[in-house]
Amino acid sequence: MEARALKRYIGSSPRKMRLVVDLIRNKRVDEALGILRFTNKNAAKVVEKTLLSAYSNLINKLDSGRLDKNEVIIKEAYVNEGPSMKRILPAPQGRAFRIKKRSSHLTLIVKQLTENNKQQ
């Protein structure tokens, strides 16, 4: 069984978010949470909250409602580009430089491990 969580309009650029998401892709949830807690990036906090949300969504989907974090794996994790805010920075001699403040959308899909996957 699978569940997903979306976090949209994150105020961090997609390039910075992908650095963090690449660390946890295809890992178990308990292992990924340990990595995120000790990652020294602001994006790690957002990814951690979204991962806990996806895990909670999976538990709510199940009939039994009981599932350990080591029995769940991150199946997919990707970051898409969100809208960019255009800003202007004053420059010398009356010019203006354009600044793009980028945002991103985070998608995490978690999957329950079956007995076949646990043995591998």
What is the model's pTM? 0.89
Residue 119 confidence (pLDDT):
58
Rounded to whole angstroms, the Cα distance separating 46 from 65 reads 25
Average pLDDT of the residues in 16-25: 96
Residue 120 confidence (pLDDT):
57
| Upper half-sphere CA count for residue 68 (Cβ side, 13 Å) | 5
Rounded to whole angstroms, the Cα distance separating 115 from 71 reads 10
Q: What percent of the chain has pLDDT over 70?
A: 95
For 27, phi then psi, to 5°, come to -115, 165
> What are the boundaries of each domain within the chain?
2-115
Mark out the alpha helices in the chain (DSSP H runs): 14-24, 29-37, 43-61, 115-119
- In this model, does residue 115 exceed pLDDT 70? no
| Upper half-sphere CA count for residue 101 (Cβ side, 13 Å) | 8
pLDDT tens-digit map of 45-102: 999 999 999 999 999 998 887 889 999 999 999 999 999 999 999 999 999 999 999 9
Superfamily covering domain 2-115: Ribosomal protein L22/L17 (3.90.470.10)
- In this model, does residue 30 exceed pLDDT 90? yes
